[in-house]
Structure 1
């Protein structure tokens, strides 16, 4: 029977406590996969379902990125500190593959470039940016606009701004605000800007990923769903094309809300490529 641990904690290089749980065999008894969530997400039920579906095929570690859930946060934010968080988690699992979801895909790729052999492979599920487009990786409102809202003590407006950035119709906002999950979104609203900086780092800065694709030699699966929107397919194809060991996988009949068993099979396929059982 597959079991999930209660919350455990590790400590990042700057002293921040990072909360995580483990599903499957104890570390070292099976290949490991670390789930890297996207914007406004932390340890979602779907990733627990994927971990349960993997069962004894993998040790699955899910964690709260800094500033979310039960993890701490130490200012000032930097993407480097999130890489330190992953390094601390890899001390728990040993060398492991990463499952990066949406914007988390680019954080996972940054970790693969920075941490070398400690990251054995990456599965990028529906990365949100077409790396061949030449467009800015992120809307400036996702950083400056969100940070301004947080500074004046209005996290709800920060969430609304992000939802506008991703194209959610305004008519749906009242229903969103009335939902039980709205308070949780407000609680982690500052981290929207963190993901904005992760995305900006794809093309900007001295360590931009666009100048470092050839350093990511680990196997990478770029996965999308056949029923997803056309821009998702374009982004997946563009990312797979620039990675030395990249391969695109499209899950037939599925969209963004992929069934856990299909995602688990994709993860198992990556683990086989990295030498896992």
Structure 2
């Protein structure tokens, strides 16, 4: 484990996988994800082994070994965390983002010098009202839950109200060993919401908001994922100036890394 210090003093923990000659990519997880999450570890290893990339796999603030900024939830802070990681990588790095991490990667590409490419896997933009739209004041209940240490309640609330998962599905998840990891990262959901709130209102993305992205972008969605995520991914590809969209056969929002990694690695090495 290595660390960098973000602009506000938060410590960001990361693992470096590989010392490739094809460039560096920083992996950005989505809600409840963390650097030791099995899929993130597998993706980092696959990109290092199969594509000669140096991979930085990090804990977003409030997760794993990274510290937090309790009560202060601003997407700008997470963008600053990425800037610190890019600097640690020598001043240049690509970004891979998964779910809310994909939205964060796109936002960072607008502001962080040295970002070279972006792969955005299923950014959960809610661009119409045909699917679940989170309540506008979601943080009014979320923030007090976090402040009071109600981790299990926070997981349930965020999954059902922000992510739109059926309550029964979440209840079943409560019985699995994985729930402890969800609870451990639950406080970080306020950071996720700070990133996603402007883009989950059931409104179309505004092209002018994304014009500052000047690097190559690949937006990916799985053939077997939820229609909301496919729709949001396509919308992202339409508004980002130099973006392409690809749908991956047999892939869901929880993909087999053997199907996801080739699409990511091939784009990054081709872009170079």
Using the size of structure 1 for normalisation, the TM-score is 0.86
Judge which range, 65-74 or 221-230, deviates more.
Answer: 221-230
Q: Identify the residue that residue 12 of structure 1 maps to in structure 2.
A: 6
Structure 1 residue runs of 5 or longer lacking an equivalent are 1-6
1:22-33 equivalent positions in 2, closer than 5 A: 22-25=16-19, 29-33=21-25
1:180 and 2:173 aligned: no
How far 1:30 moved relative to its partner?
3.0
Q: Distance in 2 between matches of 1:209 and 1:92?
A: 32
Q: Identify the residue that residue 107 of structure 2 maps to in structure 1.
A: 110
Deviations 1:10-54 (A, max 9, x none): 11111111100011116xx33111011111111221121122222
Q: Identify the residue that residue 156 of structure 2 maps to in structure 1.
A: 160
How far 1:92 moved relative to its partner?
1.8
Q: Distance in 2 between matches of 1:242 and 1:134?
A: 20
1:247 and 2:240 aligned: no
Using the size of structure 2 for normalisation, the TM-score is 0.87
Q: Distance in 2 between matches of 1:138 and 1:211?
A: 24
Q: Identify the residue that residue 30 of structure 2 maps to in structure 1.
A: 38
8 Å CA contact 1:122–1:218 kept in 2: the answer is yes
The partner residue of 1:224 within 209, 221, 225 is: 221
8 Å CA contact 1:143–1:192 kept in 2: the answer is no
Deviations 1:155-187 (A, max 9, x none): 221111112223333334444333333333223
How far 1:134 moved relative to its partner?
11
1:98 and 2:84 aligned: no
Q: Identify the residue that residue 88 of structure 1 maps to in structure 2.
A: 84
Q: Identify the residue that residue 234 of structure 2 maps to in structure 1.
A: 237
Helix, strand or coil for the counterpart of 2:27? strand
Helix, strand or coil for the counterpart of 1:168? coil
- Matched length: 263
8 Å CA contact 2:29–2:40 kept in 1: the answer is no
Q: Identify the residue that residue 3 of structure 1 maps to in structure 2.
A: none
Structure 2 residue runs of 5 or longer lacking an equivalent are none
Q: Identify the residue that residue 145 of structure 1 maps to in structure 2.
A: 141
How far 1:190 moved relative to its partner?
1.9
Q: Distance in 1 between matches of 2:128 and 2:265?
A: 29
How far 1:77 moved relative to its partner?
2.6
Q: Identify the residue that residue 62 of structure 1 maps to in structure 2.
A: 57
Judge which range, 264-273 or 89-98, deviates more.
Answer: 264-273
Q: Identify the residue that residue 72 of structure 1 maps to in structure 2.
A: 67
Pairwise CA RMSD of aligned residues? Answer: 2.5
How far 1:193 moved relative to its partner?
1.6
How far 1:148 moved relative to its partner?
2.0
8 Å CA contact 2:15–2:58 kept in 1: the answer is yes
